[in-house]
Structure 1
Amino acid sequence: MMKEKEKLIIETGIKLFATKGFTATSIQEIATECSISKGAFYLYFKSKEALLLAIFEYYYSRIQERVKEIDNQPLQPRERFVKQIHCHYDEISKHKEFIIMQVREHAIPFNEAIETFIRNMRVSSNLYYQRILMEIYGDAITPYIWDMTVMLQGIFHSFLELIIFEVTELNLDHLSHYLLKRADDLVKGLTGSDPEKEKPILSTDAMNKLLAEKVLHPQKTKRDLLAAIDDAKERFYDHPKKEDITITLEVLEEEIKREESRAPVIQGMLANFSSFPELTDLKSLIEEFFFAEKK
């Protein structure tokens, strides 16, 4: 069970990241806002990236809890689908400022744990749509179940973008029913066509492969490396050898910012990491970005 202090840090992080952005918000600012010391922050989260992951998990778990509550209600599949779609839109709209800030500054850093979370969230979403569509429409749509899943999610996310960026005022109840009716239209069109002429685009095997492939992961960028270096500086704020490692990190930072980064300089700086096991993940991240193809 989540501790109250941990929840406070997460909710404070959401607020500050939404107003200032992930990169511009320091761990010290989060700690000050929570009325705790910087050391106390590290008792709960080892880095700002770890806090960001915890925010994603906290946020996602809130949605899942509401969805499960609806699952436990004595509802027909169609009614349950409408309520759950409404629930997703409602929860996301409550934190759209946080989402907008992450999108605008491309703040989500490359991190194996965050990648795994995003992949699992996508897989979970696909499996949810597959399950609920089968409950609503039955075996008749089995050949087209993955096509339906992908198309309906596309419609859902298109309207979600409008909600997040406030392009127009949308009635969530009407929108949720509207999505179900569009699903009805898709099913009518697919099941009423000649299966020989209207073969499904996605087979079960193809979709399983797609869900497993790493192409679904966000690609690493120099922005990710710079964010990770910034986080490392925060972690070494009170370290006895802060000055030594800060110089190395700053040289790396400037080199990565160059249009043509010099590999020998980067390799030389990474050699200084050998005395700091806390930087193993950062070293691996930089090596993979610059030298993976040469290995």
Structure 2
Amino acid sequence: MVKKQLIMESALELFAKQGFEATSVQQITEHCGISKGAFYLSFKSKDELILALIDHFMMQITSDIDYVVINVHDNGELLYQFYYTTFHSFQKHSDFAKILIKEQTQSFNEEFMIKMRNYDTSVENTILSMIERLYSQEVEHTKYDLMYCIKGFMKTYSELLLFYNVPLDLNVLSQSLVEKTNLLARHTTTPFISQELFQIMKQPMDEEVSEEKIIEIIERRLEEMEESIEKESLILLKQQLLEPTLSLAIIKGLLENIRNHPHCKWVSYLLRRYYEF
């Protein structure tokens, strides 16, 4: 296992038991069986490690949701698949999701707040594109309210999944939320959030991710990966950015190869946006 990944997985276990504040770098290194020097070769501080875990978790969730919205072509299935994927992702990453929800009241630094707002904006854009596709002009004046209602469903029911030890059927949950969303979309007539208000509320995202930035991210991911079909695919995608020679069909195939690899989900998301798939 790559040392950086080992540190992140060991830290996650300790954070789940003790929380961020109560867990020291010393405890993390002892749990990993490495020296403090080895830790600081991978992360400059505990805060940087926490941000790396947040990045990993949010990249998985954001990428999974975006992939579904782009690739489910049956409008009758889209909303169900959106909700099912959302809650399945929260279940899959439940350890860190619980920690993040519990620790959000702690005073994180500005970098954390910017990161979370950027991921939140990405999810909002994905939801809005889904709403516009499903309901078109029917919700022209209420789409921003509907988007926040959907985000509310995601947050509230995710907490229900994470913090109550009861068997929950994701299929039934997703069907129930599809019904609720359709009712809101078709019968809400009084908008609260206008386009102007939405733009005021929106915090500006970082600059559009450039080709150079994507290559830089790919290079970092390649250093973390062992030899595999996903790594070979990522190398080819990097070469394509440097010297375009491949058809769009081949690029789509390479993206499909990497999209489920934990180190590649965010790269896959960025490349889908870059190539406008």
The alpha carbon displacement at 1:43 in A equals: 1.2
**Residues 78 and 45 (structure 1), Cα distance of their counterparts in 2 relative to 1, 3 Å cut:** farther
Tell whether the 8 Å contact from 1:22 to 1:102 is kept in structure 2 after alignment. no
SS of the residue corresponding to residue 24 of structure 1 reads coil
1:47 to 23, 45, 48: 45
SS of the residue corresponding to residue 118 of structure 1 reads helix
Which residue in 1 is equivalent to 2:207?
none
In 1, distance between residues paired with 2:187 and 2:147? 15
Which residue in 2 is equivalent to 1:174?
172
Q: Deviations over 1:148-174 (max 9, x none)?
A: 111222222221221111164321111
The alpha carbon displacement at 1:109 in A equals: 3.6
Which residue in 2 is equivalent to 1:9?
7
**Residues 129 and 73 (structure 1), Cα distance of their counterparts in 2 relative to 1, 3 Å cut:** closer
Q: Deviations over 1:144-198 (max 9, x none)?
A: 11011112222222212211111643211111121111111012212xx5xxxx3
2:201 to 210, 215, 233: 210
**Residues 19 and 4 (structure 1), Cα distance of their counterparts in 2 relative to 1, 3 Å cut:** same
Tell whether the 8 Å contact from 2:66 to 2:126 is kept in structure 1 after alignment. no
Which residue in 1 is equivalent to 2:142?
144
The alpha carbon displacement at 1:32 in A equals: 2.2
Which residue in 2 is equivalent to 1:280?
none
**Residues 102 and 212 (structure 1), Cα distance of their counterparts in 2 relative to 1, 3 Å cut:** closer
**Residues 148 and 45 (structure 1), Cα distance of their counterparts in 2 relative to 1, 3 Å cut:** same
Question: Match of 2:50, as an amino acid?
Answer: L
In 2, distance between residues paired with 1:106 and 1:140? 36
Which residue in 1 is equivalent to 2:112?
114
1:66 to 64, 67, 72: 64
In 1, distance between residues paired with 2:97 and 2:194? 33
The alpha carbon displacement at 1:115 in A equals: 0.9
In 1, distance between residues paired with 2:44 and 2:150? 38
Which residue in 2 is equivalent to 1:132?
130
The answer to whether residue 186 in structure 2 is matched with residue 188 in structure 1 is yes
Tell whether the 8 Å contact from 1:146 to 1:202 is kept in structure 2 after alignment. yes
Which residue in 2 is equivalent to 1:156?
154
Tell whether the 8 Å contact from 1:31 to 1:37 is kept in structure 2 after alignment. yes
Question: Match of 1:7, as an amino acid?
Answer: Q
Q: Deviations over 1:44-90 (max 9, x none)?
A: 11111111110010111122343344345453234233223212212
The answer to whether residue 87 in structure 2 is matched with residue 89 in structure 1 is yes
Matches within 5 A, 1:210-289: 210-212=201-203
In 2, distance between residues paired with 1:141 and 1:102? 33
Which residue in 1 is equivalent to 2:20?
22
Tell whether the 8 Å contact from 1:152 to 1:183 is kept in structure 2 after alignment. yes
| Contiguous gaps of at least 5 residues in structure 2 | 205-277
Question: Match of 1:129, as an amino acid?
Answer: I
In 1, distance between residues paired with 2:146 and 2:101? 27
**Residues 109 and 171 (structure 1), Cα distance of their counterparts in 2 relative to 1, 3 Å cut:** same
In 2, distance between residues paired with 1:188 and 1:107? 36
The alpha carbon displacement at 1:108 in A equals: 4.2
In 2, distance between residues paired with 1:81 and 1:9? 37
Tell whether the 8 Å contact from 2:87 to 2:158 is kept in structure 1 after alignment. yes
**Residues 26 and 169 (structure 1), Cα distance of their counterparts in 2 relative to 1, 3 Å cut:** same
The alpha carbon displacement at 1:100 in A equals: 3.5
| Contiguous gaps of at least 5 residues in structure 1 | 214-295
**Residues 155 and 62 (structure 1), Cα distance of their counterparts in 2 relative to 1, 3 Å cut:** closer
**Residues 16 and 9 (structure 1), Cα distance of their counterparts in 2 relative to 1, 3 Å cut:** same
The alpha carbon displacement at 1:104 in A equals: 4.4
Query: Aligned pairs, how many?
Result: 204
The alpha carbon displacement at 1:105 in A equals: 5.6
